[in-house]
Amino acid sequence: MPVITLSTDFGAVDEYVGAMKGVILTIYPSVAIVDITHELPAHDVRYAAHALAGFYRFFPRDTVHVVVVDPGVGTDRRILALETDVHTFIAPDNGVLTAVMEREPVRRIVSVENPAYFQETVSQTFHGRDVFSPVAAWVSKGVDIARIGPAVEAGETVRLSMPKPRKIDDRTLTGTVTMVDRFGNLTTDIDADALADFLGATRPENVSAAIKGRRIHGLSNTYASAGTDEPLMIVGSRDYLEIAVNRGSASRHFDAVEGESLSLTLTERSTVP
Distance of CA 250 to the CA centre of its chain: 20
DSSP state of 151: B
Res 271: pLDDT: 47
Look at residue 272 and tell me if it is in a domain. Answer: no
Strand-pair category, 32-37 with 3-8: parallel
d(Cα 80, Cα 30) in Å, to the nearest integer?
Answer: 24
Whole-number average pLDDT of the chain: 96
Dist CA 55 CA 213 (whole Å): 32
Contact 24, 31 (CB under 8 A): yes
- The strand ranges marked E within the chain are 3-8, 32-37, 64-68, 79-84, 88-92, 106-111, 166-169, 172-180, 186-191, 207-211, 214-217, 219-220, 231-235, 240-245, 261-266
Q: Based on the fold, state whether residues 46 and 131 are members of the same structural domain.
A: yes
Which of 156, 179, 194 is a domain's end point?
156
Report the phi/psi class of residue 213: left, alpha or beta, with left for phi > 0 and alpha for psi in -120 to 50: left
Same domain, 140 and 191: no
Same domain, residue pair 250 and 115: no
Domain that holds residue 197: 166-266
Angstrom distances, CA of residue 26 to CA of 29, 30, 134, 236:
6, 10, 9, 39
271 assigned to some structural domain: no
Same domain, 58 and 77: yes
The 10s digit of each residue's pLDDT in 153-194 is 999 999 999 999 999 999 999 999 999 999 999 999 999 999
Instruction: Tell me what pLDDT residue 135 has.
Output: 98
pLDDT of residue 269: 52
Q: What is the CATH number of the domain that holds 98?
A: 3.40.50.10790
In this structure, how many other beta carbons lie within 10 angstroms of the beta carbon of residue 122? 14
Rounded to the nearest 10 degrees, the angle between the axes of helix 16-27 and helix 133-140 is 30
CATH of residue 184's domain is 2.40.30.90
The mean pLDDT values, 10 residues at a time, for the chain of 273 residues are 97 97 98 98 96 96 98 96 97 98 96 98 97 98 98 97 93 97 96 95 95 96 96 96 98 96 84 44
pTM of the model: 0.92
The alpha carbons of the chain give a radius of gyration, in whole angstroms, of: 21
Rounded-to-integer distance, Cα 209 and Cα 14, Å? 42
Whether residue 7 is found in the same domain as residue 128: yes
Report the number of distinct structural domains present in the chain.
2
